[in-house]
């Protein structure tokens, strides 16, 4: 059975109310961790304050989420020293299947999948760092140096021999990608063509009231979007500023935290709570 693609949309202003880089890093780390726990395939960062330049915030979010998703053994090759990574040490590890703990040749098995980075090209092909003491050889393929690749182990005798792999063939969850949207949220949803879109809002209907309808659409959907509002305004306000109505843009607007005990629910809190509830009812990626 083909896996569903699960995307979540979060606002660029996610960390705008957090003054210090350390706390910003911690908040973004919670988003990445939630995405991995609930097998999210894509995190879309959308602009939600059209009158402000949000490039600095979006770059920070993308950098830290990308750093988290990258296996530890590849980070030094793919990320240069950057001010945004000053507190990267506090980011929680994902411990997903593409972040293996084994770092020796003896840990490899034929048929395993790994993430790698092309280190150099030779007459025989490309040499790829896959996180063990020997560079792996990809025969007859001369790929761009510093290119990140997903590979399959085909031999482990003298040195690892690998071939390019398609992530779709990997049975395990293999991380998320980060997409920086340039369009406002309303137009973004209309143009990306999701099969099922769910917005979270304290003004939405109780999930229990629309559960059967969502289940019916969920079974048929291949691409699903779950969207979240910002620290200072919800999705109704965000979409309204673009001249649209949230109920017209999304298939469902649901309240996943009914009778909340606080005046507001932070975006990272809403992501954990909402994905947990949806996962319980729909078993993500099934």
Residue the block writes with tokens 């965000």: 238
Q: Can you give the pLDDT at residue 109?
A: 95
Q: Can you give the pLDDT at residue 262?
A: 85
pLDDT digits (tens, 9 = 90+) for 69-105: 999 999 999 999 999 999 999 999 999 999 999 999 9
Q: Can you give the pLDDT at residue 157?
A: 85
Q: Can you give the pLDDT at residue 254?
A: 96
Q: Can you give the pLDDT at residue 108?
A: 95
What is 5-95+176-282's CATH number, 3.90.650.10, 3.40.1280.10, 3.40.50.1970, 3.20.20.210? 3.40.1280.10
Q: What are the residue ranges in the chain where pLDDT is below 70?
A: 1-2, 284-286
- Residues 31/65, Cβ–Cβ less than 8 Å: yes
DSSP characters for 176-189? Answer: -EEEE--S-HHHHH
CATH top-level class for 105-166? mainly beta
Q: Report d(CA 230, CA 227) in Å as an integer.
A: 10
Q: Can you give the pLDDT at residue 286?
A: 56
Give the number of other Cβ atoms within 10 Å of residue 20's Cβ.
10
Domain ranges of the chain: 5-95+176-282, 105-166
């Amino acid at each position: 059975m083909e896996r569903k693609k699960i995307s979540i949309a979060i606002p660029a202003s996610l960390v705008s109310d957090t003054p210090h880089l350390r706390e910003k890093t911690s908040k973004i780390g919670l988003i990445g961790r939630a995405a991995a726990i609930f097998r999210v395939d894509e995190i879309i960062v959308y602009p939600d304050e059209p009158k402000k330049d949000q490039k600095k915030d979006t770059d920070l979010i993308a950098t830290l989420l990308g750093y988290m998703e990258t296996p530890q053994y590849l980070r030094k090759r793919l990320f240069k020293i950057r001010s945004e990574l000053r507190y990267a040490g506090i980011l929680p590890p994902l411990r997903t299947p593409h972040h293996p703990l084994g770092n020796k040749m003896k840990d490899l098995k034929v048929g395993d999948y790994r993430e790698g980075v092309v280190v150099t090209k030779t007459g025989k092909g490309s040499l790829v760092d896959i996180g063990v003491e020997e560079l792996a050889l990809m025969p007859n393929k001369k790929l761009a140096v510093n290119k990140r690749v997903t590979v399959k182990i085909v031999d482990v005798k003298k040195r690892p021999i690998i071939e390019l792999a398609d992530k779709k063939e990997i049975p395990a969850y293999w991380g998320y990608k980060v997409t920086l949207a340039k369009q406002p949220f309303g137009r973004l949803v209309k143009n990306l063509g999701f099969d099922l879109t769910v917005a979270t809002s304290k003004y939405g209907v109780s999930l229990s009231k629309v559960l059967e309808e969502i289940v019916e659409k969920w079974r048929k959907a291949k691409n699903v979007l779950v969207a979240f509002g910002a620290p200072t305004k919800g999705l109704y306000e965000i979409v309204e500023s673009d001249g649209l109505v949230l109920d017209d843009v999304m298939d469902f607007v649901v309240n996943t935290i009914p009778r909340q005990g606080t005046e507001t629910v932070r975006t990272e809190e809403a992501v954990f709570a909402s994905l947990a509830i949806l996962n319980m009812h729909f078993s993500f990626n099934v």
